[in-house]
Amino acid sequence: MPYSNLQIFAVELIGTFILVVFATGSIVYDAKFFDGQLGIPFAAVMPFIALLIGVYSFGKISLAHFNPAVTIGYYITGHITKIQIVYYFAAEIIGALLGSFFVMQFIGKNANLGVNAPNYDFSLSLIFPIEILASAMLMGVIFYVVYTKGLRGFSGIAIGGIVGLDILFLAFISGASMNPARALAPALLSGTFSDLWLYWTAPFIGTILVAFVFRGKFQAQRASNYE
C-alpha cells in the first residue's frame, strides 16, 4: 500500500532520531565514562544497531533514508518526488536535532556531543575523497539491496554493516559521517562548526555519483515491470 508523506515524515524523524542517539550518544558515553577507551569499534557498532532497528522497522514505509545525502540519491534514481525531498529533509534534520538534544540531556555534553571531526594529521586532499568514498559505498550498498532484494532479508544487516565498516576503517581519517543531518545536529548544539562544511559537501558528492550509476538500472527495472 502507498504511504502518505506525513507517514514518511514521521518514520524518518523517528529513525533519524534513533540513529543520532546511537551514533553520537555512543561517543559521548565513551568519553564521559570510559575516557574514550572504547574507541572507534564502539562508535562503529552502535550505528549498526540503530540501522538494524530503523531499516527493519521503517524500510517498507520510507525506504529508511535517515540521511539527506541518501535522500538526494533516491531522488536521482526516481524513487521519490521533489516535494517528498522537503518531507525527508525536514524529518531528518528535526530528528537529528532531537537526537542530539536527547543525548545532551540524558547522556552528557562530552566530546562536543559526538560531533564529527576529521583527522588533520592527514591532508585535506585525502580526507575529502575518503569521506566521498565512505558515502559512495553506503549509497552503493543501499541501492544494491534495493535493486536486488527490496529492503528485505539481510538488507538491514548490509546497510548497517557498511556504515559500521566505514566508521571502523575510515573514521580515523575523515570522521566517516556519511550523513549531513548526523553531522549538523551535534555541531549546532555544541557550537562546533569548523568541519561542518566537509560533511555537507562530500557525502552529497558520494551519493550523487553512485545514484547516477544506478539510475539506468532502476529505470530499466521499472520499465520491465510495466511490460
d(CA 11, CA 207): 22
78 within 8 A of 216, measured Cβ to Cβ: no
**What distances in angstroms separate CA 82 from CA 18, 89, 149, 167, one per listed residue?**
25, 11, 25, 31
* Rama region for 146: left / alpha / beta (φ>0; ψ in -120 to 50; rest): alpha
% the chain with pLDDT above 70? 98
- What is the pLDDT, as a whole number, of residue 167? 98
Residue ranges and CATH numbers for the domains of the chain are 5-226 (1.20.1080.10)
19 within 8 A of 47, measured Cβ to Cβ: yes
- Select from 216, 215, 118, 209 the least CA-distant residue to 170: 118
Q: Where are the alpha helices (DSSP H) in 66-201?
A: 68-76, 82-106, 111-114, 124-148, 155-174, 180-190, 196-199
Read off the pLDDT of residues 42-99 as tens digits, 9 standing for 90 and up: 999 999 999 999 999 999 999 999 999 999 999 999 999 999 999 999 999 999 999 9
Read off the pLDDT of residues 161-177 as tens digits, 9 standing for 90 and up: 999 999 999 999 999 99
Q: Which helix (H) or strand (E) element contains residue 216?
A: helix 202-226
Residue whose entry in the numeric block shows the C-alpha cell 560531533: 115
131 within 8 A of 198, measured Cβ to Cβ: yes
- Region 197-221: mean pLDDT is 95
- Per-residue pLDDT at 208 exceeds 90: yes
